[in-house]
A and B are shown apart, each in its own frame.
Chain A
């Protein structure tokens, strides 16, 4: 079975979710592109988009239509060639419309897992719950007649564990996209010891066709991405706990979020990122990691408590940010939840005092967005962090401490053989989390 054969019938489980919808988009476009290649005219490509929620599936189709249109507009140059034999399609607009139709024709929404029984490839993006994944895989394995390969988008569960529990004999690999899959360049690829070499080859080829950057991670719970993120978040939380005596809960969250965003020039502060991922998702990931890495302290009573107060974060169906640890106005953090009073305290109430205590940003500071588009980024960062190192404000102290901890986490991932090289850790943070620089750097000694 060659690459195109393998992609003839694909199922995506959890297709209408945050990750699943992106995976459906990318996979369906790849299938449509294959159908437009000269060698594949006789093939019928089918993607079963399986999700428990029928409502979410109709939302998926709208999302796909919008996204395929945007992608088609970007690759109109190629599409004109792909459709050159279609005499009826002359203008770009006609070609873009046809491509949208062709991609959508591949996607078959379904609420039944039975849809996956004829698939040669099953892409899983359901909840980060090992038992749920095992149950679904087992059911499909029992009834699937095609010896399907399983690609799981798990961000934390070891692949060898899933392989063993479902008896897949190496027909599984970790193929971990970052959110949103259509935008983030990274795919973390995780092989179990028994993963079939041809499945690993296929995955490399698939990622390459999607123009993704591949980083190989070892099969350790949390892998590289969450291996860093969860520990980084726990550092932020412990800083909040330490600062609360002086600044109160709201002030401390404000401070740590600001340190991790503005002082460290990251796209989001750490608590905004936790909200973006969802507190419940973070809790699942930590649970999975903590059970498998005993003694590493990967749990947080802080997160557990907020979840017990029904603070979840995550996104609305339209992609906008729900309130979580922080409150959002027009997508920007504007307040912080106070678990004592169970209300959101506006930033305005705490910012003045906290900013004064933190002291100013280094004078060379620029927003993250500016820095990532700067031609001489390394030169800029060298200058900026030199300045940060020489400052003796509370803000600079906290930022240096945060940077050092992030670096220590990165080095730990290499030491623990989760990542093969420091460079891999940096690539994951820069292409999966969109950081302007990797955690393993010379800025923090």
Chain B
């Protein structure tokens, strides 16, 4: 794969609060903002930084299942709802399950590369607390193959798919240490989230997070090999970011020092109808990361921080291995050695990740890019981590479904 034919940047990120259980202001029976409000909040947050909607050439909205969670389709037409100045601009909606956000970013990147846009506004959103978790599980199961998998699947379809992955991993590499690594992953996620005020776990005050996370799974009410702490929560949230060319940066008046450069990317699709060959590996993720690193011309040693798709603790662990930071079977050691923590060699998911910050499914990929941008441009506030100048790169990995739709992006911080 070749390098980008022109320089592409991301800037002016914005994320809303991730609303759901855990947030003090969340009450399941009280009225809450809907899809429109989240889209508008994230979108306006970006527009405010880039001089308004008149500077935008194109809008992209990433979402997974508004058609079922909110009975709302035609989401592209909610981009102009963000601001009047966006009316009549070209917009589209992209969907790739929980990988929708990554696809949205790629759509913007490609528009900029194709020179059909100098400034693209990308918004990712999901509002999922409209239904009880047991019915939300039905909706999210749409990320799997409905005709081939759903009937035989579990009530909690996706948690069960990753519970099966955890089981396979336990069998191959041992349970005890792996579970401890899950617990550490949970602790890191919550400790990071406690520093970031938009995170869903920002208000979490539990004392002994690792003991909590070691609660034995309850197959009667949930899945066989994971407990609720192993899972990202149900979230309502949106995130927005601008994907721009150098010309675009000039137009919106943002210096390169306030932008990250997109220096590589890998976009990979697996066949929805073919089950994973090896449950202990995220093959599609591995392929996307490899492509992204190759296209950026960097190695893992150049990375200063990673945003990975930890929809479950097991996906966090398998991501560490798929990225190549630990050989197969050693992901648990890597995590338990503290290498993914905020003081570690490569801090992962510095605002909490999917487990700590929240997982508004179709919006997550965009939120990851916002976190990377904030971290690399010194806008991370309390949750800023130290990244040495020798490691100026960041990687984000956004996964849709059971390792089916994957987008990996390599970013470089401003020089």
Contact = CB atoms under 8 A, between A and B. Distances in A.
Interface of A: 73-80, 84, 87, 90-93, 96
Contact of A76 (B134, B141, B150, B152): B134
B135 A80 contact: no
Given A73-B132, A77-B221, A92 B151 contact: no
A119 B220 CA distance: 33
Interface string B98-141: 00000000000000000000000000000000001011011001
Contact of A91 (B150, B156, B221): B150
B135 A93 contact: yes
B138 A93 contact: yes
Contacts of B150: 90-91
Contacts of B220: 77-78
B151 A87 contact: yes
Contact of B222 (A77, A80, A91): A77
Nearest to B156: A77
A92 B132 CA distance: 11
Nearest to B160: A77
Contact of B219 (A75, A77, A92): A77
Given A76-B155, A90-B146, 9 more contacts: A77-B156, A77-B219, A80-B154, A80-B155, A90-B150, A90-B151, A91-B138, A92-B135, A92-B137
Contacts of B141: 91
A211 to B, nearest CB: 11
B272 to A, nearest CB: 17
5 contacts: A73-B132, A73-B134, A77-B219, A87-B151, A93-B138
Interface string B248-284: 0000000000000000000000000000000000000
For the complex of A and B, 3 pairs with smallest distance between CB atoms: A76-B155, A91-B138, A77-B155
Chain B interface secondary structure, helix, strand, loop or mixed? loop
Contacts of A84: 152
A177 B167 CA distance: 41
A90 B146 CA distance: 9
A267 B146 CA distance: 47
A79 B137 CA distance: 15
Contacts of A92: 134-135, 137-138, 155
Contacts of B135: 92-93
Interface string B148-169: 0011101110000000000000
A181 to B, nearest CB: 21
Contacts of B151: 87, 90
A75 B134 CA distance: 10
A15 B152 CA distance: 38
B138 A77 contact: no
A433 B244 CA distance: 65
Given A92-B134, A92-B137, A74 B155 contact: no
A88 B137 CA distance: 18
A253 B221 CA distance: 43
Contacts of A90: 146, 150-151
Contacts of B219: 77
Interface in B197-222: 219-222
A196 to B, nearest CB: 33
B143 to A, nearest CB: 14
A76 B151 CA distance: 13
Interface string B316-327: 000000000000
Which among B134, B138, B155, B156 has the greatest number of chain A C-beta atoms within 10 A?
Answer: B155
Nearest to B151: A90
Nearest to A72: B134
A74 B138 contact: no
B68 to A, nearest CB: 10
A257 B88 CA distance: 67
Nearest to A74: B221
A77 B132 contact: no
A176 B138 CA distance: 39
B211 to A, nearest CB: 10
A93 B151 CA distance: 12
Nearest to A94: B138
A91 B220 CA distance: 18
Contacts of A77: 154-156, 219-222
Contacts of B132: 73
A75 B146 CA distance: 22
Nearest to B131: A93
B3 to A, nearest CB: 46
Contacts of A79: 155
Nearest to B135: A93
Contacts of B155: 76-77, 79-80, 92
